[in-house]
Amino acid sequence: MSNALFTYTLRLADDLLVLSHRLSEWCGHGPVLEEDIALTNRALDHLGEARNLLQYAGQVEGQGRSDDDLAFLRNERQYRNVKLVEQPNGDYAHTIARNFLFDAYHLPLMHALLKSKDDQLVAIAGKAVKEATYHLRHSSEWMVRFGDGTDESHQRAQTALDDLWTFTGELFVEDDVQKELEKAGIAPASGPIKAAFDSTVNEVLKEATLKRPEDGFMAEGGRDGRHTEHLGYILAEMQYLQRAYPGAEW
């Protein structure tokens, strides 16, 4: 059980850490100063959430690993995030669509975790719910602006959705870790989260006059540490100083 809980907590943490990394790449390059601030703010939110989760994962594991150890000294195959969050920023439509698809999953997940039997996860989700609510509002508003804005923005938003849709299946994966924790009342069932995701996506895309992509081939593997090639570069960058100067204090 503690093994499954460790993995599950890492999954929650790594989604946020990797997404935070991607969003922080925008810092100083946003399309307008207010969005630069919004994305940086969001990167900061996710970083804080990831730290709480990594600290807890370290406790669950019981090997004395800190949040920094888990962030900077695990390799590509040990990261447990979904492939969606490691996808490159692309244009602003890709970044917003990636945020939106993640948010439509993450907010109901945080809500459901409030009823978990694991007190730590309840506490962590309690802090994250408010932020996740705001994030979903921000990304939904931009999806609508893009979809119902200009021809160009509509086209870009549709392309982004079409490109990223294949990565949404993995958000609801039902594997042994998930099943074991579901049975223990720690992890919420995927079914209701998926239903909430569907209704958010349908509602927002309708208002945005965008088309929901067909469910075709769905990419998987991230939850088991089989990632896209992008993750290796993210970690090479993120972990550079810790790897180059082992044991140094910063």
Q: Which is nearer to other proteins, 49 or 170 (CB)?
A: 49
Binding piece for other proteins, criterion CB under 8 A, among 36-44, 121-129, 130-138, 195-203: 36-44
Is 64 among the residues that bind other proteins (CB under 8 A)?
no
**Binds other proteins (CB under 8 A): choice among 2, 34, 64, 119:** 34
Least CB distance from residue 225 to other proteins, whole Å?
21
Helices (H), the chain: 2-24, 33-61, 67-72, 83-86, 92-113, 119-147, 151-164, 176-183, 190-207, 230-238, 240-244
**Binds other proteins (CB under 8 A): choice among 1, 27, 189, 195:** 27
Q: Which of residues 223-242 bind other proteins (CB under 8 A)?
A: 237-238, 240-242
Reading the block at residue 104, the tokens are 């439509």
Using CB under 8 A as the criterion, what x/- string covers residues 125-154 for binding other proteins? -------------------xxx-xxx-xx-
Angle between helical axes of 2-24 and 33-61 (0-180°, round to 10): 160
Is 206 among the residues that bind other proteins (CB under 8 A)?
no
Is 71 among the residues that bind other proteins (CB under 8 A)?
yes
Query: Dihedral angle at the C-alpha atoms of 189, 175, 168, 14, nearest 10 degrees?
Result: 90
d(CA 242, CA 21): 16
Amino acid at 156: R
